[in-house]
Structure 1
Amino acid sequence: MNEVAEKVSFQVNEQGYYGMFGGAFIPEMLYPNVEELRDNYLKIIAEPEFQREFNDLLRDYVGRPTPLYLAKRLSEKYNTNIYLKREDLCHTGAHKVNNTIGQILMAKRLGKKKIVAETGAGQHGVATATVCALMGIECIVYMGELDIERQAPNVARMKLLGAEVRPATCGSKTLKDATNEAMRHWISNPVDTHYIIGSVVGPHPYPDMVTRFQSVISEEIKKQLNEKIGRENPDYVVACVGGGSNAAGAFYHYLEVPEVQLIAVEAAGQGVTSGHSAATTALGKPGVLHGSRTILMQTEDGQVVEPYSISAGLDYPGIGPIHAYLYDSGRARFLSATDDEALKAAFELAQIEGIIPALESSHALAVLDRLGASPDEVVVLNLSGRGDKDLATYMKYID
């Protein structure tokens, strides 16, 4: 055996795998669509005209670069240097729009006339409806019936933007079920429809494609940190993980920089062992979900376990295959935060920094006291979305 270990790559391979995770497990009817995407996405992304249009829209429409903000009072409380990557300041209120801009430009180049999407917290649905309005393309968004109730402001925004919002009424009536319905729709309309998946999940090439579009986050962090402190690399990058697109984007340019600790935070719900949780890495095992092999919560006979989180965007029984590999390889450290911990962290940020975070981002904030960061170290936390959509939930906990 060679004494020099082969360098581990965290990029997807030609077969669409990150280690043992990934691939494309899809019905035969979807093979033409997925193969068309797989055969063309890297070429299209590399085209100078695509890059020009993508970057112009990110700058002039989305409002990039988003600020990297030194949260002074938060830093004082935790006795370290905490920078917030302000994805909450993107147009539509979250990082999701980075990906929908990229995918709508991809769909146009592939000649697609209609868009279908799934959404949990509604941010991806809003971002998809937004870019469809921008490009004049028909848009259908599937959303769990429960999520429609708890994320009413985003449902209203999608409808105002001209999208049709269709409820998923099966199962837990949340993100998993919305994804199932969106995939069924795509199977029935494979020729003229592009499915804009909102996270780093699904069959190859979606996890890699979405990661590439979201990698603008870590690309900006490197430049901005260098401007502020004279070095590109923080000591920690922290992000919440459901499917995991915001984390994939925040981690991307640090994947092969081992001195940067990558911290992924899942939703523990009412407690990891409570039976009401979405802490996939703590509770799951390898299996196939929504077209890729990953880690997911399942019963002994392979039935998907219903997840639970107060946060609609983290209420998902699996993680993207890139995150499954980061967990399996030990490259990223996976923690979890309960509903109560996330709520406490949200109120804390609001009241000491004047920033109301999304419930998803609040899970990342909830582990700041568990990092072990020293006073001279630098923590970058990806504040993936703003809390407007969660005000009804927050109001229940205000005295």
Structure 2
Amino acid sequence: MQVKAFARCSRALLSLVAVIVGAASLLGCAQAADGTTTKSGAFEIAVESHRESAHGPDMRPFQTRRVFTFRLSHNGKTIAFAATPRTDGGKVGPPVAVLDKAYFVGTAAETTALVATNGDTFLVTESQGLPVVTRLLSAGFKGYQWLDGADGAPGSVVFEPATGAEQESRSLTEGKLLLLYDNSGIKLGVLDIPRRAFHPLVNADPMQRSSQEIYSDDYRANGMVPGRARALSPARSQFVMAGTRYEGDKPAISLIVVDFVQGKHKIVALDGDVMRLNAFQKMTPQWIDRYYTWTLAPDGSEQLSARRPVPKAPWTGFLTDRSVESAAYRLLPVSPDMRDIFISHLEGEHGAVRLQPKPGQISQTLQIGPDKFDVTYYATNHTLVFEPATGLYTESAIAACQSIATGFDQRLKEGANQASFTRFAAGDLWAER
């Protein structure tokens, strides 16, 4: 009996241990390495992952998320990175081998690795068979943007890959100028990959707030997408982004031109009404080329200035970015009569049928084929919105919304219904998400 009781106790104890171990892994203990590696010369980047606690709104105790980390090795030996010495003379932790970010950059014959710890960013090269580590800045980069990506223009800001990090390419080869961001979207500096030169960005005002960069005349570049670089100068020494400041309770928008080579910047005025700009997403290199021109200053540096005169282009609408917002087509700034004009267009061109509105409903619901849509006019910001009806964001409705928007926008480009657009203030730009 004692033997049987002991066996039962042993099995119970083993079960309890298994539960504890399982719970510990959910709360952040590392799992086995994914085993994905990328080699370049004598260097190798290895991808690892673990799960850590990630309480959601429901506060479930064992909810987790997968976190990726990286290791860089040279000839099979892992490289550890020393933290920046503290200015207060305090104790610095031991070198760190587990990395937050790690990529091979450029297409040069000699391998260059760009890596980040929680507190620093490093460039790693090789000389005489040995790794050479250079600290670029005392902040770990979390995102990047090519200043000279597709067609030589700035690309998207990348913080997290669309797929898991084990499937993401470890080689960044799209361009030569890489703009680095911290986790708040603050721009840290530009890496000139062929020259292995880093240009840190320093704002005119040393005070920085979370998710904002402060420039002269109190203009601020919002973090993440709205503050991204939007055009690169012909000599590839400056980039253009949008800046906002408040005059009372009204926002004013201008361009901020950053000379990252000489470490200075300039504010260039923007007239949203003259330049037909009603959304940040329209601030493309092509739009900048239409309304601005690059010239050489007396000191030989590049400078951006508005073209005068420029024939006004027709007003057009825009589709919101489905990846971050609900699918919708927006027209602004428009007068109230645009609502009836647009609904009549939907009835005549797409067979739309008006449905009886619900009590208190400000939008007009329409049946178009198998799908329902809402048309809403907002007087406060002179905006007309066409979108799938609330809760009915089917793939067919989204596709129809996009198709209808494209057709109506083409009519606007040809000059139709321009009398229904009103004067526009640049501060009313529809923000990117």
TM-score category by the smaller chain? under 0.3
Q: Which has the higher strand share?
A: 2
Ranked by relative contact order (alpha carbons within 8 Å, sequence separation 6 or more), the top structure is 1
After TM superposition, the score normalised by the length of structure 2 is: 0.22
After TM superposition, the score normalised by the length of structure 1 is: 0.24
